[in-house]
Amino acid sequence: MSKQIHIRLDDVVYDAITDYNKDNDISMHDTVSNAIMQFLTQKNLEDTPSDVLFRFIDLFAGIGGMRIAFDRAGGKCVYSNEWNKYSQQTYFANFGEQPEGDITKVDENSIPDHDVLVAGFPCQPFSIAGVAKKNSLGRATGFEDKTQGTLFFDICRILKAKRPKAFMLENVKNLKSHDKGRTFKVITESLEELDYEVFHAVLDGQNYVPQHRERILIIGFDRKRYGKDIDFHFDLTPVKPKPIIKDILEPKVDDKYTLSDKLWSYLQNYAAKHRAAGNGFGYGIADPNGVSRTLSARYYKDGSEILIEQKGKNPRRLTPRECARLQGFPDDFVIPVSDTQAYKQFGNSVVVPLMADVAQLVVKKMKELDDRNND
């Protein structure tokens, strides 16, 4: 839902904006809308209280799951970056800030000072060949050689320029095994070359929400500030009692979420075909007293990985609000986009209470290290 406004511009201003639009191939609507949101974002950032525990930045921010986690730990977000326009829309609706776009074009020195860098970065292939060649020639390689051309490189250059006290990175579990472990080796070596003590663990969200969702978290603390004598453990505090699927279900759901006869028949036939071939592919009916499969960004296509059984009806997919709950987002989290975009956004997001638990541990360790330095 949107509203219209009418504004008057002096001719010289209108001509300048028109030229800008032509040069950047964008519409007048987008230019004016972005300018207003940037103004509101700046106003929100200027309202930062002086007594916040720490400041953090939110990179590859998505819809702000990691931000909520660090907000709860007592921090203040001073910068966010997310390129997807629909995710930007959801982010703005909930935090009053428009994340900056394309991180590859951002000057790292322009980013505000911060204590913690937070990023749910995409996993991209790394070129190992160039590194191997340099090694064979006896030449030193650093993160710039190893990671140039990947979005992980942008994290590294920001860490190098701003040197936050700590960072927390999130990615899919398979990052550790990607390219026979070489990708993960490049990542950890690059972070260590930047003089950070690095810790990592694969964690499952099912102790916080009723969803089996494994993700890798990579934590780092600045050796230049704290030295090498740093110890960190993922001592988590799971939710009790353990959440189950029926905890997140809405009492009344629109019939549009019920699978059509055609789609339900297709999914059943597809599953039968793969069962006959000895494969495990197929739809998943969620146990109301158990946990679901992993919610993915493809959920909008047919909802097959997590279906809810209904008496006298075909199964249904989860509603966007139920997907939000499955990821641990609070019920007052605003969903301003279409169902299709919402499914993509929540499927790409994080388990908020798990991230909040780890964020508390990072902040606690940071305070311990700061206190040790001040002794």
Residue 324's Cβ-side half-sphere holds a number of Cα atoms within 13 Å equal to 19
In 65-222, which ranges are continuous DSSP H helix?
Answer: 65-72, 85-95, 128-136, 143-147, 151-162, 182-193
Residue 261's Cβ-side half-sphere holds a number of Cα atoms within 13 Å equal to 1
DSSP conformational letter for 258 = B
Residues 343 and 318: their CA atoms lie apart, in Å, by 9
DSSP states of 21-72: HHHHT--HHHHHHHHHHHHHHHHHHHT--TT-SEEEEEES-TTSHHHHHHHH
Task: Tell me if residue 323 is catalytic.
Answer: no
Q: In sequence order, what are the beta bridge partners of 95?
A: none
Tokens representing residue 308 in the block: 């809810």
Catalytic residue among 77, 123, 156, 323: 123
> What count of residues does the chain have?
375
Query: 67, 14, 22, 59: which is closest to 329 by C-alpha?
Result: 67
| Strand 196-204 to 214-222 pairing | antiparallel
- Which amino acid appears at position 10 of this protein? D
- Which amino acid appears at position 118 of this protein? V
Tokens representing residue 131 in the block: 């590194």
- The burial class, CB within 10 Å (0-12 / 13-18 / 19+), for 136 is exposed
Catalytically annotated residues: 123
